[in-house]
Amino acid sequence: MSSTSRHSVNPEARHFGRHEVAPIVIAHRGASAFRPEHTLLAYTVAISMGADYIEPDLVSTKDHVLVARHENELSATTDVARHPEFADRRTSKIINGIRHTGWFTEDFTLEELRTLRARERFPKERRENTAYDGTERIPTLDEVVQLAQEHGVGVYAETKFPTYFASIGLPLEEPLLETFARYGWDDERDPAFIQSFETGNLKRLRPLTRLRLIQFVGATGAPYDLASAGDPLTYDDMVTPEGLREIAKYADGIGLVTKRIGPGDPGGLDGRPVSPVELVRNAQRERASSVHATVPSQARRRAAPGGGTQGRHLRARGAPPNRCEEVVKPTVPGSTWTE
């Protein structure tokens, strides 16, 4: 199967150094406002709406197969509670310092997960999506990549809870690289990104791959791997010039929640340590050359067609507005900005 991407033929694309700078739409969890998240159906709808990349969150099964779920606990997004044969799998675990109770992907083989069906996470807010409950399986990373290549789009993959999965002998990085390589994606020019809210796994990945790596930066707190090791570095520290300079040593860009760069409350920046303009300029200066952010989920449904999110939501050529969750916009040579 060949490695394809819309970017390879995008007439709007420009090249600066080893990066291509062009507006892109990233479908976060697929078209999750229109179909149950992280299903092949949600990804397919997102592609039809104009997405350039589909974004799977990745967790592991018991037999070390990567599957697309926002978290490894299954009860919110599948019908696992209706399967009496798995009743004894319900348990409690501490993951990233927080206690969770339910059913977890790492306690199921892929064959067992195949018997489950996806359902809408927010049935009250997304009533229309419940019509698709029970119709879709949990997709594997292989299936996500196959779908992307079939439609000529890319994959923007996030590793979920990498410290936790490594601690139970199911590290995410090796099968992720192996899967991408199996489909011909192993270079910085290929339509694949790997992102993480943690730092250690990105640093370990850097000497192993030429694929583009993205450091996610949360609104508050700190990367779990650093906090659990007693490192005082916070996400606020990471958006300073010094922090961005450190990120640029191992990552190709940063991913931001919109609280970092979006409009603040009237009269203030909500306590943000760095203003949005300063943050993007610093990222450009420190060569953290790709910047993207997630558009708030409530904006996707309520925005009027063509109106955008506060008049500033951008879209890729041919993509309907307000239908996919992440949009990337070029600013100056060597960097991209998102709203």
- In this structure, are residues 260 and 219 in contact, taking their beta carbons and an 8 Å threshold? yes
Residue 13 DSSP SS3: coil
**Percent residues over pLDDT 90 in the chain:** 66
Q: Is pLDDT at 177 greater than 60 in this prediction?
A: yes
> 264: which residues sit within 8 A by CB, 6+ positions away?
270, 272
Backbone angles phi, psi at 59, to 5 degrees: -130, 175
Question: What is the rounded average pLDDT of the residues 328-336?
Answer: 32
Q: Is pLDDT at 311 greater than 60 in this prediction?
A: no
- In this structure, are residues 326 and 31 in contact, taking their beta carbons and an 8 Å threshold? no
Tokens 């970092």 identify what position?
260
**Between residues 119 and 262, which one has the greater pLDDT?**
119
Residue 58's pLDDT band (boundaries 50, 70, 90)? very high
**Between residues 277 and 83, which one has the greater pLDDT?**
83
pLDDT (0 to 100) of residue 280: 78
Encode 277-326 in three state secondary structure: HHHHHHHHHCCCCEEEEECCHHHHHHCCCCCCCCCCCCCCCCCCCCCCCE
pLDDT tens-digit profile of 101-157? 999 999 999 999 999 999 999 999 999 999 999 999 999 999 999 999 999 999 999
Residue 281's pLDDT band (boundaries 50, 70, 90)? confident
Q: Is pLDDT at 86 greater than 70 in this prediction?
A: yes
Report yes or no on whether pTM surpasses 0.95.
no
How many Å separate Cα 8 from the centre of its chain? Answer: 22
